[in-house]
Structure formats: C-alpha cells, structure tokens
Chain A
C-alpha cells in the first residue's frame, strides 16, 4: 500500500496486495491466477491401493487377529476383528493369498484407513 500513496488504493489492493500468496490454478488447460484455500491445500492426494492391503474400515482397537504371517488365506476368510463403536467388526480377506505382513498387534488402537495386513 505504501508505494501507492498518491493514488487512491483500490479496495482489492488493500486486502490482497501480497502477490506471493497467489498460485497458478489450472482448470481444463486454462491457467488462472488465484488464491488457494486452506482446505484445498490440505486435501488428500489419491494413492492407488493394492487389493490385498487391508485397511481399518473404522477407527477402533484391534480385538483379535486370526491369521499368522506367511499363512494361507482364502477369499472371505476372517482376518481380524476390530473393536469399534461397541461392536466387534469383522474384516474378511478380499482375495485368496498369503499373509505377507501383519503391521498391528492385538489391543492396538488404529485410526481409519491405517494399513493393518498385507496379503499377496
């Protein structure tokens, strides 16, 4: 604002004179200069999940794990139970395969979407 003393500052200049806050934003190949929102900047990037990656469907506590590392599992087999919202929630295997990794222990608290087991 200081450099524009002789001119009456436009209302837009008063609030948004910090040009470094602007980003280039692409919508359908056209580029726009604009301000980002906090929500936009903190949005989650999409990552492809392997079908054998077992994620926590709901935040809760691991109640019981029914499989062992390197053990064979069949599609639909019970892998573990997740104690959440006053229920024991069953997680079943989506594929036939072998348990490659178990990343959690019984009684461990997990947030939603945490990777629990890997089946290949």
Chain B
C-alpha cells in the first residue's frame, strides 16, 4: 500500500472518530442549548492550536454486549493547545457519546493528559459534561474516578486546575471539580449534585427541580462550589481567558506582568465613595478600583458570601490577590461562608506566589445560633490559619472598623502581615465604642441619674480616646497611618520591597488546618 492510500485510510478512521455520537446525538446536544465538546475546546483555545491525542482509544467494556459497541474516543476529547499563546492541557467530555459516561479508557485518557500537564508544568482545563459512571463497566469506572481525584489532589498547588461544568456532573464525578482551583458554571446548563432529584424523591419524598437542587446559580450563590457564573458558554470561555491573564502558569513562575496603567481616579474618587461614619455602607469594590491598575478588578466568587470580596488586580503591572470586607452586605461581617471563601483564596495566592492585599472594614463575627452551630469557630479558624501560614508578601490596609477577633483574622501584623497601613478613619479596638462603653462604664451608667445621657457621654469619651488608629500605632501594631491619597504609592512600595521576602518556617510534613 502506498503512503497515499494509507493516509486515505487514516482520514477515514479519523472521520469515524471525529463524528462523536453522530448527527442525531449532536442535534440533541444543540437542542439543549449546548455546544459540542469539540466546539468548546476550539472556542476556548487560541485558533489552530488544538492538537488532539488518543483519538483512536477504544472502550474497555466487555459485559452486557458492550464489546459490540463502538464509542468514538470513548466519550472524551483530550489534547494540548495554547491560551493567549501559553501552553495548556485540556480535556472535554463528549455528551453525545454514551452520555459522556466515564468508563475505564475514558478515565485513562483524562489521567494521561493530567499526567502530561504535571510533567510539562502547564495548566489543565477539564470540561465536564457527563451522565456519570458507565454502569456497564462497574468497578472499573469507579477506579477511573479515583485515579482522577488522586491526580487532582497531588497537582493542587503545582499547576492551575480549571473545571468547567457544561452539562450534568453528578455523583462521584463532582469531586474532581471540587478538588480543582476554579470551577466555572453556566446558567441553565451546569448541573452538579451527589444524588439527583429522582433519588431524593423516591427515598425521601422531597420534590425539587434539578435547577433548584444543583443548578449553576445554586452553586454560585448558595453552596460556594462554583467560582464563576456565566449566562452563556461563550461568556464562560471569556471568563476563563480573563483568569489566565492574572494567574501564573505553575507554582514556580510568577504571573505575567502587564504594562502599568494608572487607576481611573476621576471615576473612582475615594472622598466621594467613602463615608467616614463607620455605620454607613459603601461598595468596597469602588475603593479597590480607585487603587489598582486601570481600575480593573477581576472578582472571584462574586455571588457567594458577598460580605467578603476576593479577586485579582494588578499593582504596578504585577498581579495581586485582594481580600476585602464588604460593608455593603451584612456590614462586612465574617461568618462561616466568608471565612471559608477568603481562607481558600489566601491559600491559592500563597501556593502560586501571588502577593496578598487585604482591606479591612468589619464589625466582627456574625452573631447568632445558626452561625455558632454551623461551626463559625472552625470555619473562622481557617482564615487565621491561612493568613498565618502564607509566606507571600502580605500587605494590609485598615480603612475603618477593625474590631475584636475580626481585626486579628484580617491579616493583622500578629499573623505576620509584612506591612499594616491604616487610614486616619481607622478604628482599631477590641469592640465598637457602644459595646465597649456599656461594659467598661456599666456601674457609672447604672448609678447615673439619667443613664441614657451618661451612656452617650461615656460612648463619646471612649470614641474619642480609642476609636482611631493611633492607639494601635502607638504600640506598633500598625506600621503607618497614611493619608488616603498616598495609599497606592504606599502599597506599590510595600509590594516592591517585599518581593524577595524569605521566611523561615519550622520543618514539618504539613500542618493540620481546621478543614
């Protein structure tokens, strides 16, 4: 046979494999408002950069007449390509082939491309669209999941791992995304749950729709499983590309620097945005935008626990991770969810050498039985642990309230923030003036002829003496009290000189964080 005929044969074989589940299945996929697996990869990667591997892999099912079936690519497409010119490994489950179900060889393809990603030290992107385990392959399909989970865990903190949920992702399958760094979901398309609505109905008699149980919005707002929420697949891919602008390609490299652009201080005027009265709300994101390069703040987990804000920006061209209390929502308190959200982000930044900028304005921890019983002690401790353990440059800016335990938890100097800056409006105290005066001057207030008058007097007294940054500054807990207009300058300088920071940590296998 000549090479020409051989290549005709190759083309024919490729054509068979590339058709996926066939025209009918593709039409069904489109009818559900979804792109096909291949279209998704091509939409996400730079044009003409996708190179596919393991196209001719065949499934390993032997029982239940599976050996007579042909499943192109075994329901998953794997390969390499580039995003913004940088290499990535990628896989996409193909729902048109046996519902994207995960069999032994399907998992082998995924673990192989994950191993490549680890070897080449490049990000791995997983597009999930699968009905779950391929029941016909029994325990081998469970083995497949286990192998993926193990790799997710080992690769964590070494290479960026991105999960994109573009269809069902149910049962054990959900744990791969849960172990990765960032999970992207799309409204009405993503569905994640451990047990589906039908099982819940038959076993427990509770009726709930798939969307209400584990739709995109639920995971972005309520469970915190998802980090990015999009209205469409195209918007989702744009978000992924945006994320890649901010993060480094692996844990030994720094994120790509960008040309320095000044913040848009004419749109974001601190003196107009920022109320000095500690009880008045404002949007902390506007203050962030007043300080960072080109006023660009790429928010992560925008909808979950919005009382704390996390995300990426640049300072002087370099990526920084920002964690900030949000006085606009729940007065910016720390609670179970917000502690969890912030702690994980601190660990992400620390793992990938991204300096951390913390902005503090909180009244403390959220009071309530539900919070105490939900484990606010355990969850709150995560934040203390994450900040203490982080060795990247840590810069803290205290804007207004920094009361009690909240002050300590928000990257205080005691948790080894490198520089703690405070605005003159800062109030660093063991609690708010009202509460403190009520306790300290209890006897005097009770004994007074007019207790209300006395209370007011004593609150004012306390406020004057302690509701400021100067008591903390007097003990050196705050490194500098600065004018708001000098903030950017101070932060850039602090980041600059902390860039080569080295910290001695005692030798240990690993700590025991309050998971």
Contact = CB atoms under 8 A, between A and B. Distances in A.
Interface of A: 8, 10-12, 15-16, 22, 25, 27-40, 43-44, 46, 59-60, 84, 109, 111
A35 B328 CA distance: 6
Contacts of A34: 281, 327-332
Given A12-B286, A33-B280, A111-B206, A28 B431 contact: yes
Nearest to B436: A28
A37 B438 CA distance: 29
A25 B330 CA distance: 7
B366 interface: yes
A38 to B, nearest CB: 7
B399 to A, nearest CB: 14
Contact of B432 (A25, A29, A39): A29
Contacts of B331: 25, 27, 32, 34
B438 A36 contact: no
A contacts with B: majority SS: mixed
A35 B327 CA distance: 9
B444 interface: no
Interface of B: 203-206, 221-222, 267-269, 272-273, 278-283, 286, 289, 305-307, 327-333, 337, 363-364, 366-370, 373, 403-404, 431-435, 438
B330 A10 contact: no
Contact of B435 (A29, A33, A44, A46): A29
A17 to B, nearest CB: 12
20 contacts: A10-B272, A10-B286, A11-B273, A12-B273, A27-B364, A28-B432, A29-B438, A30-B279, A30-B435, A31-B279, A32-B331, A33-B279, A35-B328, A36-B330, A37-B307, A37-B330, A40-B330, A43-B370, A109-B205, A111-B204
Contact of B203 (A8, A29, A60): A60
Contacts of A22: 281
A10 B330 CA distance: 21
B171 to A, nearest CB: 15
Name the residue in B221, B269, B328 with the highest tally of chain A Cβ atoms < 10 Å from its Cβ. Answer: B328
